[in-house]
Amino acid sequence: MGTENGRLKGKAALITGAGSGVGGAMTKLFALQGAKVAAIARREEGLKRWHNVENVLPIQADITKLEDINRMVDEAESHFGKLDILCNVAGIHDLLYPLDETTDELWDRVINTDLKAPFQICRKVIQGMMKQGSGVILNFGSIASVRGLHGPSYGAAKAGLIGMTLSIAVAYASKGIRCNLINSGGVNTQITEHSGGEVHPRGLKLFMDITGKLPVTWNCDPEDVAPTALFLCSDESKHINGAVVAVDGGMSAC
């Protein structure tokens, strides 16, 4: 995969959720812009697109398992010699289950995937970033962190990502490390299909009642999100740290 403009030339990145959706779009764009990318996905099927693609190292890993996290980061750092960029994109949905029907198992599954895993990945990757004195971390959040149109587990996980992002941004700025977050609106992906069940009808009705009244176009394609991620991970945004950037078509303004 040849480079177009080389905005990430010389950079090495690790992107979770790279098998499809936003993570896949980011992997493609980052590689086109000169980065060497460790593309992380839980399913081997999602990694097939990256086999024999220049600048992309496909790695199968389950980010809810600490041993997989350690292995994938070690493999990427060994292969590239460093990691300059970490993008925590992988996540699952709560399928709009309201509080009274949110089981402990559902809560744990969402929190472990959408909050605990990014925490553990950041903790692992930041060790190398501190040694080299530079690095960029980008977390992928959601409108659910600031609006109550999803279930409590997803909202809590995404709100937690904001708190973690701000903490990292402040604590490691002196080490040359930046940390920002994209707060996404609706993106046309298969996240609900990959989340282990059917959408809750009562939760879906509430969601559609709210979003149906919004005067903005709140959903987009993964390729519409990737350019903002590219900017936030490039040296062009070197003075942006601790930012929560809404990529939601104006959804959070309503």
Spatial separation of the C-alpha atoms in residues 142 and 19, rounded to whole Å: 19
Backbone angles phi, psi at 103, to 5 degrees: -80, 165
Contacts of 238 (CB under 8 A, 6+ apart): 178
Q: Helices (DSSP H) in the chain: which residue ranges?
A: 21-32, 44-47, 66-80, 104-111, 117-132, 152-171, 201-211, 222-233
Would you call 172 a catalytic residue per the annotation? no
Are 107 and 153 within 8 A, CB to CB?
yes
Are 37 and 89 within 8 A, CB to CB?
no
Joined tokens for residue 22: 């936003």
Are 56 and 27 within 8 A, CB to CB?
yes
Q: Which of 30, 154, 172, 207 is flagged as catalytic? A: 154
Whole-Å CA distances, 93 to 116, 145, 181, 253: 15, 13, 18, 23
Which residue numbers are catalytic? 154
